[in-house]
Amino acid sequence: MGLKVKNIRNTRTREAIFEALFELMEEKDFDKITIQNLTERAQINRATFYAHFQDKYELLDEIIKKSAGELIEQHTHGVYAFTKEHMMQLVFAAFEYHQQVKKKCRRNYHKIIPLLSSKLIVELKHYLNIAMQDMHADERILYVQIYANMINDAVTMHTAEQTSLTQQRVAEHITQLIQPH
């Protein structure tokens, strides 16, 4: 079998597993989802599932990590810059990330916020670390940590409906606090 055909099959299988998890998370709590539920919904056998993922936690972890990085890439167009516009787009990427997961996993959203936040913070820190290369290393390490957590906390509050500010206002406030070039 050619490498291209195998890659297409792997991609389709993984997408079927991802979709199965999203569907099941609409129906039941994540803790109650079994590998058998996933394999039946994705129409694959257990061995196929385990060829891709160690367990359902690794599956969820990969979905969450992948989407955070992809959204940051989309919103910033792959440009790493410490500017007001790029910081605004970073915040909007974080909003979209939380909203997508909340929409697909409404029933489980509040339970997985810690995992969402940890993956988002890693991706935000990665972006900020590169975007702020001109800053002295000691300062950059401090500011990257603070800014990533600030963005995540504000977006989480908004998505959990703990503030009535619009996304635009939240992004503007964060950008004013960060004060990029």
What is the pLDDT at residue 3? Answer: 53
What is the pLDDT at residue 34? Answer: 96
* SS3 at position 177: helix
DSSP secondary structure letter of residue 28: S
What is the pLDDT at residue 111? Answer: 86
Are residues 34 and 60 both part of a single domain? no
What is the pLDDT at residue 101? Answer: 85
Q: Write down the pTM of the prediction.
A: 0.81
What is the pLDDT at residue 90? Answer: 97
What is the pLDDT at residue 9? Answer: 74
Are residues 46 and 69 both part of a single domain? no
What is the pLDDT at residue 84? Answer: 95
Where the chain has pLDDT below 70, the residues are: 1-8
CB-based contact 121:40 (threshold 8 Å): no
What is the pLDDT at residue 170? Answer: 96
Tell me the CA distances in angstroms from 73 to 54, 79, 125, 134, 146, one per residue in order: 27, 8, 13, 21, 21
The tokens 């055909």 sit on which residue? Answer: 5
Are residues 97 and 129 both part of a single domain? yes
Are residues 180 and 105 both part of a single domain? yes
What is the pLDDT at residue 5? Answer: 52
Are residues 39 and 105 both part of a single domain? no
What is the pLDDT at residue 78? Answer: 94
Are residues 62 and 48 both part of a single domain? no
What is the pLDDT at residue 179? Answer: 84
Helices (H), the chain: 3-27, 35-42, 46-52, 56-76, 84-104, 109-131, 137-159, 167-178
CB-based contact 174:154 (threshold 8 Å): yes
Are residues 39 and 2 both part of a single domain? yes
What is the pLDDT at residue 2? Answer: 58
